[in-house]
Structure 1
Amino acid sequence: MKKFLVTLTLVFSPLLYAQTPAQTQTGEAASLQPPANTPGSDSVTLLDKKTKYNNNDPLFRDIAKEFRCPTCTGLSVLESDAGFSVQIKEQVQEQLNLGKNHDQIIEYFTERYGAWILREPPAKGVNVLAWAIPITLLCAGPILIWLLVWKRHVKSDTHGVRSAAVIVLEMQDSLKRLKEREIG
Structure 2
Amino acid sequence: MEKVTTLLGPAAVDEAPRPGDADEQLHSAFLALLRWTSRSAVRTRLWTGDGVELTPTDAWLIDALAAHGPMRVTTLAGWQGVDKSTVTPQVRRLERAGLVDRRPDPEDGRASLLTLSAHGREVRERVRAAGGQALSRSLASWDDADRRALAELLIRFVATVEQAEGDEAAGHGADRRPTEPGETGRG
Which category of TM-score, normalised to the shorter sequence, fits these structures?
under 0.3
The structure in which a higher percent of residues are strand is 2
Computing the radius of gyration from Cα coordinates, the structure with the larger value is 1
